[in-house]
Every structure is written in C-alpha cells, then in structure tokens.
Amino acid sequence: SYASFVASHERIERDPAAVATSLHTLLAATRPLAYAEVRRLRTVQPHPKGVGGVAPTTQHGDEEGIALHDQDYLIARYERAAAGESESAAHEARHYLELSECMRGLTLVLEKAFGLVLAPVVAREGEIWHRSVRKMMLYEAEGRGAGSPLGVLYLDLFPRALKTTNAALYTLRAGLTPRASSRSPRSAPSPTETHRPHASHALDADEEAALPAAALVCSLPQPRGAGCDDRTGRALLSPAQLRTLFHEVGHALHSLLARTEFQHFSGTRVPFELVEVPSTLLERFAEAPAVLCQWARHADSGVPMPRELARQLAHDRRGFEALRTQSTAMWALFDLQLHGEAAPTSPADTAAALHRLSQLTAVPLAPGTCPHGMFSHLGSYGSAYYSYLWARSVTLRLWYDCFEAEPLDGHAGRRWRAQVLRHGGAREPKELLRKMLASDSSARGSSRTNGLRFSEQTDVDKALLQLVDL
C-alpha cells in the first residue's frame, strides 16, 4: 500500500498498522474524558437534537450526544456562558499582549532559553516584497561565537489583499555546513549593536547569501490597521495568535539553525512526524505562566500579567482537549485507512468508513454528512496526519522532562539546538530525541520519576505520552 511504501523510507514510524493500533488505544483512553466534556457541552446546547437538528447515535446507544459539526460552536458557547458578565480570560489577556510586547517576550525567550538574539536589520534595496515586511537577523548570543550571524528571517505579519490568511514558515535558503557552502560569513558586530533599528548591514551580499533564510507569514493585527483595537488602534493579540507566532518561530529556528551537508536534509526537511515538534515545543513558552508573567505587561498600566490570569489561560486552553484529541485521532485513522491496503473504492464506501471510525469517538458524525470532502490534509499529508499527535506526544515528554522546571535557564535550550535542531533530517530522529532526553535526565539527577512530573499532567497528557515509544 501507499502507506507502507512511504513508511518504509520516509517516516520515523515504519509500521502503519502499529501506528493505527496506538491511535485506537489513544481513542479508548480518552473516550471517558471526552464523554465528560460532552456532558458539559450539553448544558449549553440550544436544541435537543443539535444545531443541525440531527442527533447522532454512538455505538453505546447515546441518543443525547452532540454532533462533530456542533463541537466548536458549543465549545465557544460554553466558554461565553462560563465567563458570564465578566470578560473571558482570553479576552482579558489581549490587553497584556500588544504586538510590540509579544515581540519583546519572543526575544526574551530566544535569548534566555536558547542563547539567541533576533534583531532588526536594514533591508537592501529591492530585498523585501512589501513595505510592512521586517528583515531580522538571528545571532549567537553568547560564548566564543557571540555576535555571529546565524540566519535571516523576514517577518510578514499583517494581512493585506491577495495575501494568504494561513500562517506558515517558508524556507528560502537552506543552512549548509561550511564544507558544503562555498562561502562562510564573517563575524558580525555584537548583538547589542544590532538592536539599533537603523543598524548598518552586518554582512555584504555574498556573505549573507551563505546564511539560511526563511519568511514567516501570518495575519496578525496591525497597529492602527487591519484587526487593531477599535478604541486605541493598538495591535492586541489573542492568546491563540500569540501561540501561532511562537509556533511559526519554532519552525524558523529549525530552518535557520540546521547545518547539513545536503540541502534536502536541512531544517524542516525532516520526516513528517518531526516537523511539528520544534514548533509545538516553542508554543509551550507562549502559554507557560512562569514565562508569560515575566514579560507580558498591560498596554495601559504597564503592570505584569497576574499569575492567576496566566494560569486560567492555560486551564481554558485544555478545557476540551479530550474531544479535540479524539477528533484528530479519528482523522489520523481515516487517513491511514485511505492510503492502506483496505482502502475504500467508492464515495459511498469512503463516507461509510469515516462514519464507522467516528462511532469510536464521543462525538460521532451526523448521518448523511461528508466532512472529508473539505479536509485537505488527507491529500497533502498522505498517511501522515497522525504526525500531529506524534509531535504532541514527543513535545509533552520534552517539556516535562527538559524544560518545564526551569524553562528559561538556557541549559535545555542549548542542548536542543546542538543535539536536535542542528542536524535537520540528516540523522535518525528518534536517536536525536533519545539523546536529548537522556542528557537532560543525567544533568538534572533523580528529582523526577522517569524524568516526568506526572502530578502536573492532565489525563489526556498521560494518554498522549503512551503514543510514542522513545
């Protein structure tokens, strides 16, 4: 089958059947948790048969369930009801997440956690494609190489006509080892000098061409422009937009810090399963209260974000994670089935296969619906949609084992750069990850049980951690 063919030489997990078994185990482990979340959503369901007027029936005979097409609507309705007359935590947090403040927080995380400086530099004439795009240079922040340029990042952050609305990281130039590159960039001025908005070019054009380059594209609120606050004109980000920014910068670090002999193994050119690990890991820094409260300041008063608000954001983020995990697992299993040996051969059989899988979840599909018709990942991922759950599982282990106790102390971040990001896809990913986890356990001693702080994990976390064998 196609799934077996690509798994044999393009995937970390070489056995699609074993992946499917792990996904079924995850569905079973999260089903009781998802049913508890469904019961909460029923309290705000406006129609006894759901928004679409059709009550799905699960394999457990649950005639009072909700349908998958109602799920996101009901979650939003529940969160509004829970907030009552007061602002939701997410809405209140926006006042602490002005774009300039978020960029300050991002640079703090990069410097303290990873030993990097991201600073603006002046673009050359004709280099950028729109006046709102900012050119940034990534520098080594410390040690013998302090001030050395590592890569170029173009920030295209704001919406405009004809621009994609999707957030993405585009690799423009791969990072190669010195022997694979005919040019080697010289050292630049110290990073503190490059913080000046109008700093002169640190490198000439030929030297800069030896560095990797990437473009980070998304659609964030623009000061006094699209999406800004109606009253003040400020660019206030939502917590979700903050996570998106950090997520894409996680991809950028992978792209800019890798140094490989061949460009096809550089940066994010890795097996599907590993692609989302660096980005999902950096997201954790955008929502960890210990990190958020260090930099987030109220746009009017300048006071730090209250620890309780940061904790509430983290809590709300996980409010319905069992349902969302089940939905992702269902699509991952469907993806494997479509590309497997027993793939359905007609539209009717395809729809029936998805509906059977949905019966294994707490929120099945309503009769007659065909959501797979607009689920483009089934084509673009081709038997690898499970990689999102794989990345979440690995990220949880990395966070709890390596970063959570002291996220900004820099030790784990420097190891992450040297032991994983630097190698791109040129080495066996599981071996890189095992080395990272093993070195952290040795460095921290025996303060953890198997390197994990289980008391701080949710039940969904514990189920996800069983998905990947490291």
Predicted local confidence at residue 274, as pLDDT = 95
Closest listed residue to residue 153, CA positions, set 184, 107, 189: 107
Predicted local confidence at residue 446, as pLDDT = 37
Predicted local confidence at residue 48, as pLDDT = 56
Predicted local confidence at residue 145, as pLDDT = 85
Choice among 299-303, 314-318, 349-353 with the minimum mean pLDDT: 314-318
DSSP letter for each residue of 262-299? SGGGSTT-S-HHHHHHHHHHHHHHHH-HHHHHHH-B-T
Give the sign of the dihedral formed by CA 289, CA 386, CA 66, CA 371: positive
CA–CA separation, 52 and 66 (whole Å): 10
Strands of 213-217's sheet, edge to edge? 116-120, 134-140, 149-156, 213-217, 168-173
What value, to the nearest 5°, has the Cα angle with vertex 38 and ends 36 and 43?
A: 105
Q: Which residues contact 106 (CB under 8 A, 6 or more apart)?
A: 118, 245, 246, 249
pLDDT tens-digit series, residues 370-423 = 999 888 888 888 999 999 999 999 999 999 999 999 999 999 999 999 999 999
| pLDDT over 70 at 282, yes or no | yes
Closest listed residue to residue 168, CA positions, set 252, 99, 98, 109: 252
CA torsion angle 73 79 80 85 (round to 10): 170
Residue 363's alpha-carbon distances to 56, 85, 334, 356, 360, in angstroms, are 8, 30, 15, 12, 9
CA–CA separation, 415 and 184 (whole Å): 24
Strand partners, 138: 118, 151
Predicted local confidence at residue 184, as pLDDT = 53
> Which has more confidence, 289 or 190?
289
Q: What is the CA radius of gyration of the chain?
A: 23
What value, to the nearest 5°, has the Cα angle with vertex 337 and ends 332 and 340?
A: 125
pLDDT tens-digit series, residues 113-144 = 999 999 999 999 999 999 999 999 999 998 88
Choice among 40-49, 58-67, 180-189 with the minimum mean pLDDT: 180-189
pLDDT tens-digit series, residues 108-117 = 999 999 999 9
Computed over every residue of the chain, the mean pLDDT equals: 87
SS3 category, 151:
strand
CA–CA separation, 66 and 253 (whole Å): 41
Give the sign of the dihedral formed by CA 12, CA 18, CA 20, CA 21: negative
| pLDDT over 70 at 42, yes or no | yes
pLDDT tens-digit series, residues 70-90 = 899 999 899 888 877 667 888
What's the DSSP call for residue 400? I
Average pLDDT over residues 182-196: 48
| pLDDT over 90 at 182, yes or no | no
CA–CA separation, 209 and 213 (whole Å): 9
Where b means 16+ CB within 10 Å and e means fewer, 357-384 reads: bbebbbbbbbeebeebeeeeebeebbbb
Q: Which two tokens stand for residue 374?
A: 């607009």
Predicted local confidence at residue 9, as pLDDT = 87
Predicted local confidence at residue 179, as pLDDT = 66
SS3 category, 427:
coil
| pLDDT over 80 at 193, yes or no | no
Percent of the chain with pLDDT over 70: 87
Predicted local confidence at residue 68, as pLDDT = 85
| pLDDT over 70 at 200, yes or no | no
> Which has more confidence, 214 or 80?
214
Average pLDDT over residues 88-107: 94
Percent of the chain with pLDDT over 90: 68
> Which has more confidence, 244 or 317?
244
In contact, 215 and 135? CB cutoff 8 Å: no
Choice among 99-103, 130-134, 315-319 with the minimum mean pLDDT: 315-319
Residue 141, Cα to own-chain centre: how many angstroms? 25
Question: In which band, very low, low, confident or very high, does the pLDDT at 49 lie, cut at 50, 70 and 90?
Answer: low
Q: Which residues contact 118 (CB under 8 A, 6 or more apart)?
A: 106, 107, 110, 136, 137, 138, 139, 153
Predicted local confidence at residue 198, as pLDDT = 35
| Prediction pTM value | 0.88
